[in-house]
Amino acid sequence: MLTIIDHSSAKMAPEKRVFSDSHLISLIQLGLPLTERPYLEIARKLGVSEHQVITRISNMIETGLIKRLGIIVRHHELGYRANAMIVWNIPDDSVHKVADLMKEYPFVTLCYRRPRRLPDWPYNLFCMIHGRDREGVISLLEDMIAVNNWQDYPYDVLFSKRRFKQRGASVRKVRVVF
């Protein structure tokens, strides 16, 4: 059987097709295909070229719509059994300076500034430390405080006891994992 392929139209036609961000997002939200050419597989589903998909995903990373492409590790399964949220009351004029030092520690996995909710809640800086056990987390924390002379900043440590729910949330019917 003789098949004639018109290479020019096969190559050109998909490039002209437009596809929306949300269509692409809906295809990749649960994960990238585990095949040698994942972007080609996505492109076939969209009816566009691999190059278009690569360009669009690169743009999404550049503009920050995609924060990161890679893996999400289940820290508990990796042996990080202690998950502590450490909350600090840092004077407003020092909070950025302190946070910039804090975020550099390899064991600090999140660092956010949040509003105080006075009088019940005086803390304005939150960081997360994951460790193998509670003692390990406390000793990392105490070293960090001593090295930086943060003894005067009030803080509290909130270890997790139970996880009731952990999943991505639906936003515009897009499952998003953060």
Partner 1 sequence: MNITDKQIINYLQSGFPVCEHPFAVISEKLGLTESELISRIQLLLDKGILSRFGPMFNVEKIGGMYSLVAMQVPVADMERVTAIINQHPQVAHNYERDHKFNIWFVVALEAGKKLSTLLETIEDQTGYLTYNMPKLDEYYVGLKFNA
99 in Cβ contact with 125 (< 8 Å): yes
Q: Residue 68 and residue 127: Cα distance in Å, rounded?
A: 20
Q: Which long-range contacts (CB under 8 A, 24 or more apart) does 95-99 make?
A: 95/124, 95/125, 98/125, 98/148, 98/150, 98/153, 99/125
ω into residue 119 within 30 of 0, thus cis?
Answer: yes
Nearer to partner 1, 16 or 161 (CB): 161
5 or 30: CB nearest partner 1: 30
Using the minimum distance from each CB to partner 1, give the nearer residue, 2 or 167: 167
In degrees and rounded to multiples of 5, residue 133 shows phi and psi of: -155, 170
Kind plus residue range of the DSSP H or E element containing 78: none
Q: Which of residues 91-120 bind partner 1 (CB under 8 A)?
A: 96, 99-100, 102-103, 106, 108-115, 117, 120
Question: 129 - beta bridge partners?
Answer: 84, 108
Q: Does 30 bind partner 1 (CB under 8 A)?
A: yes
121 binds partner 1 (CB under 8 A): yes
Residues 32-91 that bind partner 1 (CB under 8 A): 32, 34-40, 50, 54, 57-58, 60-61, 63-75, 77-78, 80, 83, 85
Q: Does 135 help bind partner 1 (rule: CB under 8 A)?
A: no
Q: Identify which of residues 115 and 151 has a Cβ nearer to partner 1 in the complex.
A: 115
Exactly one of 49, 130, 140, 141 binds partner 1 (CB under 8 A); that residue is: 130
**How far is residue 144's CA from residue 125's CA, in Å, rounded to a whole number?**
15
Contacting partner 1 within 8-27 (CB under 8 A) = 25
* Given 31, 47, 91, 122, the residue binding partner 1 (CB under 8 A): 31
Q: How far is the CB of 125 from partner 1 (least distance, A)?
A: 9
CA distance 178 to 170: 11
Q: Which of 20, 94, 139, 160 binds partner 1 (CB under 8 A)?
A: 160
Tracing tokens 């990749």 back to the chain, one arrives at 28
